């Protein structure tokens, strides 16, 4: 018997249906939630993600605008567009797809977005609300991971959670969300000696490294919950996560849970972006 799947596609369907209902209610009151997505440059992966976000809006009754610019767009011009969207009453959320071309400072761009419209939750203000536990917009990927963990039915209080990775977009906010849920949290990273010593003790492991096979079967405790944030390509060019999925699933046994890639965290990221846009529109 192998571990149960934490199905991000299925949970997304449930949550997105709720989003559609709430969006329709707001639209009926003359306040259709609106998301602006800005893409600078022609990175093919970014183009796919951005298209999926816009499609998800359309499918659930949210208004969206996609603004695409050449990679040569000046930082000044981008900041001017953000200022215009900040002032646009039909837009409740603004997302600037990362990464940006090198001549544009991402911090400057993120801080230019009105606090109330920061649906990525990447700004210093949003990071501060997360850190202090004040209400605010939460980064979509770790927020989606929390929803998947909740779905496993395990209560985090008193549990040991290990986060692998310390990025501002995933690892750090993930650790704070787990802490807020009363887990005991360990954050591991590229400078951690003997990673397995930590993960073998963990009831929950969130892997956000960006390297295949970071978590292998010998590194997990039976019955643990494994959340895989990785997005990599294997030798056959197929999408895969940071976890050696089949072997880890087997090692977890029937009481364990594991997210697949694709179909785990990825769809939840888009779902929580919709949730954040709705929250911004309801505020």
Ligand X SMILES: Nc1nc(=O)c2c([nH]1)NC[C@@H]1CN(c3ccc(C(=O)N[C@@H](CCC(=O)O)C(=O)O)cc3)C=[N+]21
Q: Check the annotation: does 126 bind a ligand.
A: no
Is residue 267 part of the contact set for ligand X (CB under 6 A)?
Answer: yes
Q: Catalytic site residue 242? A: no
By the rule CB under 6 A, 143 interacts with ligand X: no
Region for 158 from its dihedrals, namely left if φ exceeds 0, alpha if ψ lies in -120 to 50, beta otherwise:
left
Inter-CA distances, 180 with 133, 146, 242, Å: 7, 11, 25
| Binding flag, residue 98, ligand X (CB under 6 A) | yes
Q: Is 67 exposed, middle or buried (0-12, 13-18, 19+ CB in 10 A)?
A: middle
Which of 156, 208, 252, 270 is the binder for ligand X (CB under 6 A)? 270
Q: Is 270 helix (H, G, I), strand (E, B) or coil?
A: helix
Whether 13 is catalytic: no
CB-nearer residue toward ligand X: 91 or 156:
91
Q: Which of 6, 113, 114, 120 binds ligand X (CB under 6 A)?
A: 120
Does residue 53 carry a catalytic annotation? yes
C-beta of 250: minimal distance to ligand X in Å? 22
In the complex with ligand X, the residue whose CB is nearer, 210 or 223, is 210
Question: Shortest gap between Cβ of 69 and ligand X (angstroms)?
Answer: 15
The whole-angstrom separation of Cα 174 and Cα 162 is 10
Answer whether 219's CB lies under 8 Å from 195's CB.
yes
Per the rule left: phi > 0, alpha: psi between -120 and 50, beta: everything else, 246 is alpha
What residues are labeled active site? 53, 97, 120
Q: Which residues bind ligand X (CB under 6 A)?
A: 48-49, 52, 95-98, 120, 140, 231, 239, 261-263, 266-267, 269-270
């Amino acid at each position: 018997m192998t571990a149960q799947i934490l199905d991000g596609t299925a949970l997304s369907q449930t949550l997105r249906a709720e989003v559609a209902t709430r969006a329709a209610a707001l639209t009926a009151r003359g306040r259709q939630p609106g998301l602006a997505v800005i893409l600078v440059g022609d990175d093919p992966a970014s183009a796919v993600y951005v298209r999926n976000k816009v499609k998800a809006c359309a499918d659930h009754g949210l208004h969206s605008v996609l603004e695409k610019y050449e990679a040569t767009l000046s930082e000044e011009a981008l900041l001017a567009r953000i200022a215009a969207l900040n002032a646009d009453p039909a837009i409740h959320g603004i997302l600037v797809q990362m990464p940006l071309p090198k001549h544009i400072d991402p911090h400057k761009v993120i801080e230019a977005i009105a606090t109330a419209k920061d649906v990525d939750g990447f700004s210093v203000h949003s990071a501060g609300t997360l850190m202090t536990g004040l209400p605010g917009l939460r980064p979509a990927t770790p927020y989606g991971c929390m929803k998947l963990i909740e779905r496993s039915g395990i209560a985090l209080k008193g549990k040991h959670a290990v986060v692998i990775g310390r990025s501002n977009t995933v690892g750090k906010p993930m650790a704070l969300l787990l802490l807020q849920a009363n887990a005991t949290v360990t954050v591991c990273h590229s400078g951690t000696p003997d990673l397995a010593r930590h993960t073998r003790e963990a009831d929950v492991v969130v892997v956000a490294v960006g390297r295949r096979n970071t978590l292998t079967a010998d590194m997990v405790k039976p019955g643990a919950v494994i959340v895989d944030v990785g997005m990599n390509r294997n030798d056959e060019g197929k999408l895969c996560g940071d976890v050696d999925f089949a072997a880890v699933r087997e090692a977890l046994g029937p009481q364990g849970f594991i997210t697949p890639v694709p179909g785990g965290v990825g769809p939840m990221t888009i779902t929580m972006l919709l949730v954040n846009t709705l929250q911004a529109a309801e505020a």
